[in-house]
Amino acid sequence: MKYVLWLLKAAIFFTLFAFALNNQHDVTVHFFFGTQWTSSLVLVVLAAFTLGVIVGVLGMVPHWWRHRSAARQLQAAPPVAEPTAAAEPTPPLPPHGI
């Protein structure tokens, strides 16, 4: 299994490396107010991916904080006692007749 994971990682790396080698052309990204950025396509795609990851992580931070605080509250709470058996047994059900 360890070798299969290494082969998968190597395949992904070489695929991305081939993508980078095939896309070295210059592109221009036009921003607001006439500003622009000229760079290779690989860097533009990498920057867009990085910004997407950052936005995704920042979007998940409140969710993670809520779960962490809930876990902390559960750890700080005293353990709940197990319910004991009832003092009197429940009466038997009447037989089913026809």
Q: What are 55-66's pLDDT values in tens digits?
A: 999 999 999 999
Mean pLDDT, range 44-52, rounded to an integer:
89
pTM of the model: 0.54
Share of the chain above pLDDT 90, in %: 19
Q: Is 48 domain-assigned?
A: yes
Say yes or no to pLDDT of 92 above 90.
no
Within a domain: 42: yes
Please tell me the predicted confidence (pLDDT) of residue 58: 95
Residue 34's domain comprises: 25-60
Does 50 fall in a domain? yes
pLDDT at residue 85, as a whole number: 59
CB atoms near residue 47 (< 10 Å): 13
DSSP string computed for 38-78? EEEHHHHHHHHHHHHHHHHHHHHHHHHHHHHHHHHHHHHSP
Is residue 70, in this structure, part of any structural domain at all?
Answer: no
User: Is 37 within a domain?
Assistant: yes
Q: Could you give the number of structural domains in the chain?
A: 1
Query: If you average pLDDT over every residue of the chain, what do you get?
Result: 84
